[in-house]
Each structure stands twice: as C-alpha cells, then as structure tokens.
C-alpha cells in the first residue's frame, strides 16, 4: 500500500505514469475504475478546487466521496499521542483513521500549518498521523506541500511545452497582505527540479528562502540531471529567458509566529507583482499560479488573462491527475 504524502516519495517515472494516465482521463472522463469504492475527504481548511475536483473526480470514476470537516459537522480530532483528552477534541486520530479505513478505500487530508512554530509545523503531524494509523492509502490535499497541485501544474506545462528538461522555471515570491503557507512554493521547487528543469527561486531576501529540506531536495534533483537551482533577489535576472514563471506568496520562515515583525518587510516588496513588463523579459514564458489568486496584487489582469496564462488549465488538471492518482493508489 502506498500513500501520496509528498512527491519526494515517488520517482519521476511513477509520477509521469500518473500524468500520462491523466491525459487519457482528460479525453475520456467517465471510466468506472473505482465502481463501488469510497473516498473520505477530510478538510481542516477551506477549499474550492480541491474539494470539488476530488468529489467530482470520485463520481466520474464510479466512487462515492464523503466530505468531513472536523470540528464542523464531525468531531474535533486529537493528534497528540498519549494525550489526556480532558479538553477540546472529542476523538483521537488513532480511532478516526482506523474507523474511516473500514468505510473508505482512500483517505485524503487537507491540514495547513498552524503558523505559530515552523519547527512543529514542518513535521506535518496531522497527515503523518493519518498515514500511520490508516489501513488505506492517504492522499495529501495540501499540508506543508501540495503534491496534487504539482501534478496538475506539470501536466499543464507538458501540454504546452512538450519536453520540459532544461527549460527555465522561475518560482517568484509575490506580495500578499497576509503571510501564506509555503506548501505550494515547496511543491513548485520539488516538481520543477524533479522533472529536470533549470530552477530559479526569486524572493526579496534570504528570509524568504524555503525550508532547507525542500531547498536541498531541489538542489539534489537538479544536480543529478545536470541542471541547477539558482537563488536570486534580482527580478530582471530571474525573468530573463524564463520558460515558466510560477507565482506564489509565502510568509518568511524566520518570522513564523512573529508576523507583525514580518509585515513591513513584506509590504516593502509589492513590486514583485508579475506584470507584462517583467514577462516581456521571458522567452515567451508561461505564467501560472495555484489559485486562489489576488488579482493586481500578485499578478496583473493582463498577465493572468493573457494567452500564456495556465491558471485555468492547471486548475482543470487537478481533476484529471487526482483521478489518475486515486486509481493508481487503489489498484496498486
């Protein structure tokens, strides 16, 4: 039995097999591969794309999806092992994961960091606990990485560019009024480097570097394929000759839990917005973002609505790649 917690656990060939299957599912969406099966979707945080694409995807494969929101329609869940449960949560993940495993063939979990202490959040305790105690495959619907988004993005890029090896991929930090999760940024680094792209991370300064676990993986993946991971704070250098520009905002890890102190730093970099002038430096570069996206804060209308924008294709691909993923995990 395999889980899908991070693409770091999966080979490029295995991921490509999912992407190839997703292309077939895009052409022929209704395939009853999971007839009579069920999927439990557990959301600790809001969603538009993930929730609807998993639910509809399960339906299109002949499966049934149950959506649970712990603390809102289902019991709050305790994750500490050995906890004396005389406050708050009504049940423990040890029971929740095992009971849901008796009902469903897949458990999928969305659990964002608490944004208080990165040393705790980086352990990804919620989904790791489900994976430990479940007896069915567990899918990450976004925790500290967002592996389904990675697949959807790569599917969209391959569709436009064909071969991606050696192409220049730029992950650019962008301003956002709130400090956001680093999950999609971590994931962008992982998928671009795993697929042999030359990766550039553009961010305001070293405070916005991503967790060393993902920086190191990206370095290892790129160097193993004769590519590179470049970190720059120079906007022009980053955009020059880019084939793909991926925009995301995230909070600076050294300021975790001290967000009032980070705010002036973030506010000073509103000019990182993706606009036509910057995109003109690229090699007819594609633009993408995971959505939801604050228009004219992270990217101008002109770029997000332009012909090189992948945002809607990437969002659509969530449906196809997740269907391929669910069938792979159940039939593994």
- Site residues for ligand CP per CB under 6 A: 47-50, 142, 149, 290-292
Nearest approach, Cβ of residue 166 and ligand CP (Å): 27
Nearest approach, Cβ of residue 123 and ligand CP (Å): 21
Residue number, 111 or 290, with CB nearest to ligand CP: 290
Nearest approach, Cβ of residue 232 and ligand CP (Å): 26
SS3 letters for 144-189? Answer: CCCHHHHHHHHHHHHHHHCCCCCCEEEEEECCCCCCCCCHHHHHHH
Residue number, 184 or 238, with CB nearest to ligand CP: 184
Residue number, 207 or 313, with CB nearest to ligand CP: 313
Q: How far apart are CA 195 and CA 230, in angstroms?
A: 16
Nearest approach, Cβ of residue 88 and ligand CP (Å): 26
On whether the CB atoms of residues 233 and 247 are closer than 8 A, the answer is no
Nearest approach, Cβ of residue 206 and ligand CP (Å): 27
Q: How far apart are CA 304 and CA 156, in angstroms?
A: 15
Nearest approach, Cβ of residue 23 and ligand CP (Å): 20
Strand order in the sheet with 38-43: 64-68, 38-43, 106-110, 138-140
Nearest approach, Cβ of residue 43 and ligand CP (Å): 9
Residue number, 7 or 50, with CB nearest to ligand CP: 50
Nearest approach, Cβ of residue 248 and ligand CP (Å): 10
Nearest approach, Cβ of residue 48 and ligand CP (Å): 4
Q: Is 79 exposed, middle or buried (0-12, 13-18, 19+ CB in 10 A)?
A: middle
Residue number, 239 or 246, with CB nearest to ligand CP: 246
* Cβ neighbours of 313 (radius 10 Å): 17
Q: Which tokens sit at 160?
A: 């436009």
Give the CB-side neighbour count of residue 135, counting CA atoms within 13 A. 8
Residue number, 124 or 142, with CB nearest to ligand CP: 142
**Residue owning tokens 């993930």:** 50
User: In a 3-state reduction of DSSP, which class is residue 295?
Assistant: strand
Q: How far apart are CA 229 and CA 220, in angstroms?
A: 9
Q: How far apart are CA 76 and CA 92, in angstroms?
A: 9
Residue number, 141 or 235, with CB nearest to ligand CP: 141
**Phi first, then psi: what are they for 220, rounded to 5°?**
-65, -45
Residue number, 194 or 318, with CB nearest to ligand CP: 318
31 contacts: CB under 8 Å, gap ≥ 6: 25, 60, 61, 62
Partnered with residue 299 across adjacent β-strands are 274, 295
Residue number, 128 or 318, with CB nearest to ligand CP: 318
């Amino acid at each position: 039995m395999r889980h899908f917690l991070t693409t770091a656990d999966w080979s490029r060939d295995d991921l490509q097999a999912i992407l190839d299957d997703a292309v077939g599912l895009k052409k022929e969406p209704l395939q009853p591969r999971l007839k009579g099966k069920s999927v439990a979707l557990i959301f600790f945080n809001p969603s538009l794309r993930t929730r609807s694409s998993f639910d509809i995807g399960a339906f299109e494969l002949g499966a049934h999806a149950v959506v649970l929101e712990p603390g809102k329609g289902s019991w709050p869940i305790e994750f500490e092992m050995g906890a004396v449960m005389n406050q708050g949560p009504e049940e423990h993940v040890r029971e929740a994961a095992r009971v849901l495993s008796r009902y469903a063939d897949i458990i999928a979990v969305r659990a964002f960091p608490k944004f208080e202490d990165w040393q705790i959040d980086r352990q990804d305790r919620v989904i790791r606990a489900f994976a430990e105690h479940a007896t069915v495959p567990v899918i990450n619907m976004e925790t500290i990485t967002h592996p389904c988004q990675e697949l959807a993005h790569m599917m969209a890029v391959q569709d436009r560019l064909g071969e991606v090896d050696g192409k220049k991929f730029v992950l650019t930090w962008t301003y956002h009024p709130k400090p956001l999760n680093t999950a999609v940024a971590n994931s962008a680094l992982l998928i671009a480097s795993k697929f042999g792209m030359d990766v550039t991370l553009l961010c305001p300064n070293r405070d916005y570097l991503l967790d060393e676990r993902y920086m190191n993986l990206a370095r290892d993946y790129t160097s193993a394929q004769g590519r590179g991971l470049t970190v720059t704070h120079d906007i022009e250098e980053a955009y020059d000759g880019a084939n793909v520009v991926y925009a995301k905002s995230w909070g600076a890890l050294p300021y975790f839990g001290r967000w009032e102190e980070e705010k002036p730093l973030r506010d000073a970099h509103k000019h990182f917005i993706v606009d036509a002038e910057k995109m003109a430096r690229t090699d007819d570069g594609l633009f993408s973002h995971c959505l939801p996206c604050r228009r004219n804060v992270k990217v101008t209308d002109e770029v997000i609505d332009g012909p090189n924008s992948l945002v809607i294709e990437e969002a659509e691909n969530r449906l196809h790649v997740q269907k391929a993923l669910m069938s792979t995990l159940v039939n593994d």
